[in-house]
Structure 1
Amino acid sequence: MREGWEYKKLGEVCCPKNKIQRAARCFDSSDKILYIDISSIDNTMQKVTDITSVTFGDAPSRAQQKIEYGDIVVSTVRPNLKNIAIIDRYEPNIVASSGFCVLRNTECIERNYLFHYVTSDIFTQHLMKITTGANYPAVRDQDVRDSIIPLPPKSTQLAIVSELDKIKELIRLKKEQLKDFDNLAQSIFYEMFGDPVENDKGWEVMKLKEIVSDDCSISYGIVQPGDGVENGVPVVRPVDMTETFISRQGLKNTTKEISDSYKRTILKGDEILMCVRGTTGLVAMASPELKGCNVTRGITPIECGPSCNKWFIYYQISNPSIQQHIAEYTRGITLKQINMKDVREIPLCLPPLPLQHLFAQCIEQIEHQKAEVQKAIIDLETLLAARMQYWFE
């Protein structure tokens, strides 16, 4: 133990659970609320990015906890996904799912120190150890509150927060660079092809199902891949779609028997992968190293046919106009998804193939620059993890 440090339970440094107001006591059925559940959180940025506006009477039955600015929400359902966020909005009517443990700091702990700790790998690994349930993994709210946190003096907490904030800010700036590259790619797309929905340049329009290869069925992946097995078949999940190219490293495995029962979605390693559950319309590229892998129910592989270039299709699906089209066909509140029939019917413009290839050449140069930035992000994230381990272990 470091000199002057204490080790306390989260429940001792945060407000008791009974201090978190029950939504039913705060809202009438006609009141408008902002509802947060697991799908509301970007677990790579650890921020709330998607809040559903709904009347309290129409909200899911799990809409039970009224939360405030500065509260930290920790998912108790599938906690190993790092569905953790700090509420950064001053809205008076935010309601969180009962699937979150809500941590509200007291005077003895700095809020951002608490947030850094619960987003550290040390805390995540602890949650994984106390998680129970094979088909529906979860951890009890009380078990989260019983977790131990190292507690230095306030001045040390502030110094640690300052150090970790600086590294996180560098990571944020690098990620902004990636967004700038993506915006540049979309600008080139608009300049060459115009808006793909308005199609003011009069390109031929075809449905997605008409431009894929003959053996691409545009199908759902594995419904229940299981908990993971050693030396099995790697499976791509929506949570793995964090970069343009998906790496084989870190993927969970399913059995060969389960994978073989979904032969239509076994990857060749050159497909576009599109998310059809949760963040519908999100796309990523399958790299050659993914050959032989499979995907889960939330993803459909798209293999381009001879009439189209995959980079052109990738950026057309990523285009805001096509994303809006996908959003209009997305259904559900607690679990957003788009029917496969509607995916197959997505209309895409199809300029001459040489023009598509010219666009792809520009994109390959941009992707090279993005790869350099992504390497810098990985280095910074490694540094952040090392510093968190030093302070929190």
Structure 2
Amino acid sequence: MNFIPITDVCDFQGGTQPPKEEWDSQLKPGYVRMLQIRDFTQKKLEHIEYVKISNKIKTCEADDILIGRYGASIGKILTGLPGAYNVAIVKTTPDEKKLNKSYLYYILKDSKFQSFIGNIGGRAAQAGFNKEDLKNFQIPLPPLPEQIHIANVLSGAEALIAKRKESLALLDAYLKSVFLEMFGDPVRNEKGWGVKQFSEIVAPDCPLTYGIVQPGEEFKDGVIIVRPVDLTSDIIHIDGLKRIDPKIERKYIRTRLKGGELLMCVRGTTGIVSIAGIDLKGANVTRGITPIWFNDSFNNWFAMAQIKSQSMQKKIQEKTYGIALKQINLRDVRIIEFIAPPLTLQNQFAAVVEKVEALKETYQKSLVELEHLYGSLSQRAFRGELGGETQHAAAKNPKAEKEPAIKNKTSITEASDSLPSSNIIEFKPTNVDYYKRTVLAAEIVWQLHKEATLGHLKLQKLMYLCIKSADMQLPVNFLKQAMGPFDPSLMRSIDKQLKDKKWFQYEPTQALKYRKLEKAGEHQKDFIKYYGNQKDQIHYLITKFKTTSSDKVEIVATLYACYENILNQKETFSEILLFQRFYEWSEHKKEFDELEVKKVFNRMKEVGVVPKG
């Protein structure tokens, strides 16, 4: 394969830093977004900035490939945002008659280029590179069709990795949904379970104490220890953990593990919990972790899910103190109140968790294999060993091509697109909550079925707004989708139940999407029964959005979700931050004009459809 200096087929242009008087926090005519490294790397961007358009600025399109130029961000490959870019960023301009842009993207992400850039950056305190430096980096330059093929292979492997990560995230969302369905919110305790303090549910011999204060250096063949940084998965195993001198460990026998304990972080990122694998028998923990084992009335998996719940985490954070080093006192941990449903229900939940955890372990192994595959493909591609191949990356790992889906015989939840059919979860909860959910949908359809604006999207968004604004506890799993908070299988379930009850038939090809059936309206008795205290709020929302288009209801629901996230994360609210979160939600949101979004939000404030807080 032919190797040439990258600068022979690609130009590199550094950005500019306009004077501060030409910057603004609001987008207005004659201005463009100013891109900085943080715009690409931070999930919680505080604000977006804009600069005056002039011949002094350098601009890029969304599909341009940019490179971080200085400091800790040197070598970061950035793409996906249009605008002007600052001096910390370099724009690539390939000669597309010779160098495919997607191929260039993977060249720059490859470890060889990253190592090359890192070595250049290491020569100065303010690490950086310039165009002259890049003349020394050579790239393989096969014919364009071969470049495109290589880019497609690597893109396919990346897509599988992303899909596997999404599957793992959906499994976590599934378990949260199951927990809320069975037990409700553990802090609000709307199901009326008995309540016990933490000190009452641990075993009599559980000291609720800190681990090793000064573990010392790595000690060959020493005692395994678990540190807060190791709590990265639900179950912690021995691989990759630090070992310390047994003489140091012997002083902390009270926190020595038997395997199976709950490990709770009380220093640093407080509230993180994992379970010690059986292979950790004889290991110990450091100062930042408290090992917990429970009495016979509490199940580990149930306790962990309760601690991980959003409301319980909020409670833990309220008790956390410190700025540079955050921690929570064990005396505060001891008095945290836990709901205590019957052990049989806890065990039933744990059985679901164990099946999901087994599947997650399979997915995690698959993810590791796919990441290794990607690294191997990348190395081979840039050695010229993929040119004659026509197989897609997935063909290298046929087991990874099929994405399993959760199946549930009893419809325990619709957040269930991640378990394979061979792993059916047996569970028999009450169906009351599902029926309540159907009744809510039926009332919305009953009120709006003569409106041409009513379809799946609008119905689901109105359900979301009703559930959130009236603080209902219903079995839904609103995930972050391009069109806003969305439960991908909710509508299938709702349509089936509306038809089974002979209330409404969904007809997607008709102008009016819901047709009345012979028993339409018979839901109202149960609507009053279940939503008597909330019906005024529900009818208020239905009336306010009666003729509103699906697009505008989508904007409302997404703004509501973004607003709620800001409050939950205890960030200082501002409209600038809210609109920034809205446009960061997905690429799809960029289709909405900013002025239109602002008008919708002003209308939301006028009618009182905003989160409390």
TM-score bracket, shorter-length normalisation: 0.5 to 0.7
When structure 1 is superposed on structure 2, of 189-198 and 229-238 the one drifting more is 229-238
Report the equivalent of 1:289. 279
Q: Say whether 1:231 aligns with 2:216.
A: no
1:120-131 alignment, distance < 5 Å: none
Tell me the SS of whatever aligns to 1:390.
Answer: helix
- Out of 292, 301, 307, the position equivalent to 1:303 is 292
Offset at residue 172 of structure 1 (A): 1.6
Report the equivalent of 1:194. 184
Report the equivalent of 1:51. 44
- Out of 210, 216, 220, the position equivalent to 1:219 is 210
Tell me the percent identity.
33
1:340-379 alignment, distance < 5 Å: 340-341=329-330, 342-379=332-369
Alpha-carbon contact 1:229-1:254 (below 8 Å) kept: yes
1:139-218 alignment, distance < 5 Å: 142=127, 151-153=139-141, 155=144, 159-213=149-203, 214-218=205-209
- Out of 106, 115, 123, the position equivalent to 2:92 is 106
- Residues 158-192 of structure 1 deviation map (CA, whole Å, 9 limit, x = unaligned): 65443323212212212222222222222221122
- Out of 330, 337, 342, the position equivalent to 2:326 is 337
When structure 1 is superposed on structure 2, of 265-274 and 197-206 the one drifting more is 265-274
Counterpart CA distance in 2 for 1:36 and 1:256 is 45
Offset at residue 149 of structure 1 (A): 6.0
Alpha-carbon contact 1:281-1:326 (below 8 Å) kept: yes
Alpha-carbon contact 1:270-1:287 (below 8 Å) kept: yes
1:259-298 alignment, distance < 5 Å: 259-260=249-250, 262-276=252-266, 279-297=269-287
Tell me the SS of whatever aligns to 2:185.
Answer: coil
Check 1:168–1:200 CA distance in 2 against 1; reply closer, same or farther (3 A cut): same
Counterpart CA distance in 2 for 1:118 and 1:223 is 42
Count of matched residue positions in the alignment of Structure 1 and Structure 2: 349
- Residues 61-107 of structure 1 deviation map (CA, whole Å, 9 limit, x = unaligned): xxxxxxx9976669978x9xxx9785867799x99xxxxxx664533
Question: Could you tell me which amino acid in structure 2 is paired with residue 215 of structure 1?
Answer: C
Check 1:277–1:247 CA distance in 2 against 1; reply closer, same or farther (3 A cut): same
Question: Could you tell me which amino acid in structure 1 is paired with residue 201 of structure 2?
Answer: I
Check 1:35–1:264 CA distance in 2 against 1; reply closer, same or farther (3 A cut): farther
Counterpart CA distance in 2 for 1:292 and 1:251 is 13
Q: Which protein has the larger Cα radius of gyration, Structure 1 or Structure 2?
A: 2
Question: Could you tell me which amino acid in structure 2 is paired with residue 338 of structure 1?
Answer: Q
Alpha-carbon contact 1:330-1:336 (below 8 Å) kept: no
Report the equivalent of 2:473. none
When structure 1 is superposed on structure 2, of 174-183 and 309-318 the one drifting more is 174-183
Question: Could you tell me which amino acid in structure 2 is paired with residue 142 of structure 1?
Answer: A
Alpha-carbon contact 2:3-2:141 (below 8 Å) kept: yes
Alpha-carbon contact 2:116-2:137 (below 8 Å) kept: no
- Residues 207-252 of structure 1 deviation map (CA, whole Å, 9 limit, x = unaligned): 33442333342425555654x3432333334444333222322223
Counterpart CA distance in 2 for 1:120 and 1:13 is 19
Tell me the SS of whatever aligns to 2:243.
Answer: strand
- Residues 20-67 of structure 1 deviation map (CA, whole Å, 9 limit, x = unaligned): 869999999xxxxx9999xxxxxxxxx95653749xxxxxxxxxxxxx
Alpha-carbon contact 1:71-1:104 (below 8 Å) kept: yes
Alpha-carbon contact 1:204-1:351 (below 8 Å) kept: yes
Check 1:196–1:336 CA distance in 2 against 1; reply closer, same or farther (3 A cut): farther
Question: Could you tell me which amino acid in structure 2 is paired with residue 200 of structure 1?
Answer: E
Report the equivalent of 2:393. none
Alpha-carbon contact 2:236-2:276 (below 8 Å) kept: yes
Check 1:264–1:293 CA distance in 2 against 1; reply closer, same or farther (3 A cut): same
**Which TM-score applies when normalising by structure 2?**
0.45
Counterpart CA distance in 1 for 2:234 and 2:341 is 23
Offset at residue 275 of structure 1 (A): 3.7
Report the equivalent of 2:313. 323
Question: Could you tell me which amino acid in structure 1 is paired with residue 2 of structure 2?
Answer: E
Tell me the SS of whatever aligns to 2:92.
Answer: coil
Aligned-CA RMSD value: 5.1
Tell me the SS of whatever aligns to 2:224.
Answer: strand
Tell me the SS of whatever aligns to 2:189.
Answer: coil
Alpha-carbon contact 2:230-2:241 (below 8 Å) kept: yes
Alpha-carbon contact 1:212-1:302 (below 8 Å) kept: no
Alpha-carbon contact 1:280-1:337 (below 8 Å) kept: yes
Report the equivalent of 2:531. none
Question: Could you tell me which amino acid in structure 1 is paired with residue 3 of structure 2?
Answer: G
Offset at residue 3 of structure 1 (A): 1.9
Tell me the SS of whatever aligns to 2:93.
Answer: coil
Alpha-carbon contact 1:113-1:161 (below 8 Å) kept: yes
Check 1:312–1:262 CA distance in 2 against 1; reply closer, same or farther (3 A cut): same
Check 1:171–1:250 CA distance in 2 against 1; reply closer, same or farther (3 A cut): same
Offset at residue 316 of structure 1 (A): 1.0
Alpha-carbon contact 1:35-1:51 (below 8 Å) kept: no
- Residues 337-377 of structure 1 deviation map (CA, whole Å, 9 limit, x = unaligned): 33234444433211122221121122222222222222322
Offset at residue 281 of structure 1 (A): 3.0
Check 1:390–1:180 CA distance in 2 against 1; reply closer, same or farther (3 A cut): same
Would you tell me which structure has more strand in proportion to its own residues? 1
Alpha-carbon contact 1:209-1:344 (below 8 Å) kept: yes
Check 1:127–1:172 CA distance in 2 against 1; reply closer, same or farther (3 A cut): same
When structure 1 is superposed on structure 2, of 345-354 and 314-323 the one drifting more is 345-354
Check 1:368–1:104 CA distance in 2 against 1; reply closer, same or farther (3 A cut): same
